[in-house]
Structure 1
Amino acid sequence: MILWAVLSTVLAVGLIFILLMYRRQVKNTCRQLEFLKENQTNLRLTVTVPFKQFEKLVDSINQVLDMSQEIKNNARKNEEHLKETITNLSHDIRTPLTSLDGYFQLLAQSDSEEEQRHYIEVIQSRISSLKDILEELFTYTKLQNEQYELKMETVDFGKCVYDTVFSFYDEFQTKGLEPEIDFCEENILIEGNTEAIRRILQNIIKNALVHGSQKIRMKLFSEKNDIIFLCENDLENPGDIDIKKIFSKFYKADTARTSNTTGLGLSITKSLVERMDGTIIAEIENDMFLIRVMFFRKKL
């Protein structure tokens, strides 16, 4: 009886001790939660009692806190991105509109037919630039929708390249550039979307025209199961380009954003290439900026 009484007493004391430890940990956890609620911090709950079930509970709470923090961080990034987007778009659209307003005033004030023709040509050019900007914004918006899908088909990639390059003949002439072209003559087919491929090629060539001053080279060839299109141009100031940001939305080497572009062209290009399971790479080597686009060749 005495032994039983002693054991009962020890057991009771042990249970009371465990209960007190649990109670102390619960109070400590409540204090930690109150602190986390009132303060912006990355601290997480800690456990001082060696009870696995309580440790699992605290781990679960910490996971919820991590998820909540991630949601807040993403929301903040999205808000910052939205503000940046609005700022950039306001500038990129306002610039050609301001220019248009000025030339319309000059047109209205001029009595010279020669001057009027010149102003009309400039106005048409500015309207064309504005249309290009709005088209890029429209494409960018579509690509932000994860449910947006390209209609895939068999595409004669070689023909798309030839036709697109030839469509820039006047632009090359105006800038006094004669691109070096090395295109294979074999039949090249890929699985893709014709309009998307044209947009990809147009954006790459436009970028070369904007930044290239004396030299543009383009090459089309096959390598095993890949079809590769290369476009490279010389750079006056290669140090001004951050190659890591080249495909980022709204990135411009011209930080003052004086050119009539949105900085969306190469970002859109990358999205379209990847939507068709292709790969795009940008590099700078020997003061030459190079873009390489690769698609899987479709087997007949």
Structure 2
Amino acid sequence: MELWLESCIAVLAVLVLLLCIRLHLVKKAAREIHAALPEKLNTDTNTPITLSCRDKDLCLLADTLNQSLEQLRAMQHCFEQGNAQLQTAITSISHDLRTPLTAICGYLELLEKEPLSAASRQYVAIIRERADVMTQLTEELFRYSVVLSVPLAQSLQEVSVNRILEGSIAAMYAVLKRHRITPDISMTDHTVLRTLDPSALSRVFSNLLNNAVKYSDGDLSITLSEDGTIIFSNTAAALSEVEVGRLFDRFYTVENAKNATGLGLSIARALVEQMHGQMDAAYEAGRLVIRMQI
């Protein structure tokens, strides 16, 4: 009886040992998948996820993940190729439009100097307005393609965000006053230093100020916090939460926007993200609030 009991205990001990070894191998394989999956997602590599154990179920899981990663890489390459083709097309279109637009504007200037009837002068004014809008859109298309294709790494330097924001507001102050907008400015006394592209940051602020001209009901609040948070907010009763959610979409404009191309905020966000910052928009109690963190 004792011999039989000892034999059972020995068998159970062996089984427990085997189960512990198998559990250890399974946990090791799970850790290998956990470590390898983010690497495969974040790097452009065709190497598959490999496991040190040969467990059938875990190998099947790894094979499924490898197939999904391969499909994801193919979709990513298609997207990158399509995006590159779109940028090339935008650049080409903007270049192709510049020459005839320059000619049109030149002939318009000559026509405006000619003696015209009141009706003809009204028609010419309408043509001039439309030509100016097309010229602005063409320039925005060109700048947008440049922003997406030219990296900012070589232009980065330590700058004072306070100084650049002050300069941008000063440069746009006359335009704001012309639209009866008096900005309420609140800046920290602490100098906010960041390693950024100064011209790109100036462009971001300029686009945000132009956006206020398009959508503000007559007010504008600008704040700069010590942690680098910048908030542009203004009353915009004509906007809706849905419209605000689409303001960063390429070419999206709302009906009440004045001379909008739908690219200003897209360019601003792209530049901020290239400088490793964040920008978002919200609609809060009838106010358009744009926050950026740099």
Give distance in 2, aligned partners of 1:61 and 1:170. Answer: 63
8 Å CA contact retained: 2:94, 2:142: no
Cα 1:71–1:193 shift into 2, 3 Å = closer
Structure 1 length normalisation: TM-score? 0.59
Give, in angstroms, the shift of residue 155 of structure 1: 1.2
The corresponding residue for 2:279 is 280
1:171 aligns with 2:171: no
Query: Shift of residue 167 of structure 1?
Result: 0.4
Name which of 66, 73, 76 aligns with 2:75.
73
Q: Residues of 1 paired with 2:79 and 2:243: CA distance? A: 21
- Check whether the contact 1:231–1:291 (CA below 8 A) recurs between aligned residues: yes
Matched, 1:209 2:213: yes
Q: How many equivalent residue pairs?
A: 235
Partner of 1:112: 115
| Structure 2 letter corresponding to 1:159 | R
Worse-matched range after superposition: 117-126 or 57-66: 117-126
Instruction: Report the alpha carbon displacement of residue 197 of structure 1 after superposing the two structures with TM.
Output: 1.8
Task: Return the alpha-carbon distance in structure 2 between the equivalents of residues 163 and 200 of structure 1.
Answer: 12
8 A Cα contact 2:168 2:206, kept in partner = yes
Deviation at 1:203, TM superposition (A): 1.9
Structure 2 CA distance for aligned equivalents of residues 64 and 72 of structure 1 = 12
1:1-300 matches, within 5 Å, as 58-59=60-61, 61-75=63-77, 77-78=79-80, 104-110=106-112, 111-112=114-115, 127=135, 130-143=138-151, 149-222=153-226, 226-239=227-240, 241-248=242-249, 250=250, 252-254=252-254, 259-261=259-261, 263-295=262-294
CA positional deviation for 1:137: 2.3
Structure 1 pair 154/118, CA: closer, same or farther in 2 (3 Å)? Answer: same
Deviations 1:97-133 (CA, angstroms, capped at 9, x unpaired):
8876665554444513996x97998667864663344
Query: What is the identity, as a one-letter code, of the residue corresponding to 1:252?
Result: Y
* Aligned residues of 1:140 and 1:264 also touching (Cα < 8 A): no
**1-structure distance, mates of 2:79, 2:255:** 21
Could you tell me how far apart the structure 1 residues matched to 2:149 and 2:98 are? 21
CA shift for structure 1 position 230: 1.5
Indicate conservation of the 8 Å contact 1:213/1:236, yes or no. Answer: yes
Contact 2:105–2:128 under 8 Å retained in 1: no
Unaligned ranges ≥5, structure 2: 1-53
1:157-194 deviation line (CA, Å, top 9, x unaligned) = 21111110010123213323222223344444333332
SS where residue 194 of structure 2 aligns?
Answer: strand
| Counterparts in 2 of 1:247 and 1:154: CA distance versus 1, 3 Å | same
Q: Percent identity?
A: 15
72 and 246 in structure 1: CA distance in 2 versus 1, 3 angstrom threshold: same
Q: 1:183 to 1:243 in 2, by over 3 A?
A: same
Structure with larger Rg: 1
- Quick one: structure 1 residues 202 and 260, their matched pair in 2 at CA, closer, same or farther if it must change by over 3 Å? same
Which one-letter code corresponds to 1:136 in the other structure? Y
Q: Give the direction of change, closer, same or farther, for the CA distance of 1:279–1:73 in structure 2 (3 Å limit).
A: closer
Give 3-state SS (helix, strand or coil) of 1:179's partner: strand
**Counterparts in 2 of 1:95 and 1:152: CA distance versus 1, 3 Å:** closer
Structure 1 window deviating more from structure 2 (202-211 vs 276-285): it is 276-285
Partner of 1:7: none
| Alignment RMSD | 4.4
Letter of the 2:180 partner, please give it.
G
